[in-house]
Amino acid sequence: MTAWITNTLVRKYALVLWSSLNYTTNSPFTSEANFGSFIDTYLIPGAQDHINSYCNRDFDVDYPSTIPDAIKDICARAASNMVQYLVMNRTGPLIRISDYRISMPEQDVLPDDLKKLLEPWVAASTVYVKATSYQTGTLADRWDE
């Protein structure tokens, strides 16, 4: 699978410094290049897989010469969502809403707004129905059999 976007674009969308994700010095990222490599190796392929799965297609096969710009944009936004989830996980699993309510943040890679943008590219899934010779009495009566 070829990368549709670069880690530089993902970092521009996410606006997160690699050092702000470390919980101790040089852990988990030792440099900006190391953070970029993490995005290239895990986040971009993951975002592409989520998009392919949601759309019931393989964009690398369907668009071999160039991926549509809108899909690249959605991929960058999905990967930047993953970076933002790293930020949320770094700060802790709970968020406080007012003084009385605490909740867990949702971590959808493809939230509803991105799914809506993907709708024009969703391929219809083919549904196969198995034929059978079994018939009930009701069906036989309806079909004058």
pLDDT, tens digit, 9 for 90 and up, residues 52-97 = 999 999 999 999 889 999 999 999 999 999 888 887 766 665 555 6
Task: Count how many domains the chain has.
Answer: 1
Q: What is the residue whose two structure tokens read 């190796």?
A: 41
DSSP type of residue 58: -
Task: Tell me whether residue 118 is in a domain.
Answer: yes
Q: Three-state SS across 71-128?
A: HHHHHHHHHHHHHHHHHHHHHCCCEEECCCEEECCCCCCCCHHHHHHHHHHCCCCCCC
Residue 109 predicted with pLDDT over 60: yes
Task: Tell me whether residue 2 is in a domain.
Answer: no
Query: Model pTM?
Result: 0.73
Other beta carbons within 10 angstroms of residue 110's beta carbon come to 19
Task: Tell me whether residue 95 is in a domain.
Answer: yes
Q: Residue 16 sits in which domain range?
A: 7-142
Task: Tell me whether residue 96 is in a domain.
Answer: yes
Pick 5 or 105 by higher pLDDT.
Answer: 5
d(CA 58, CA 123): 10
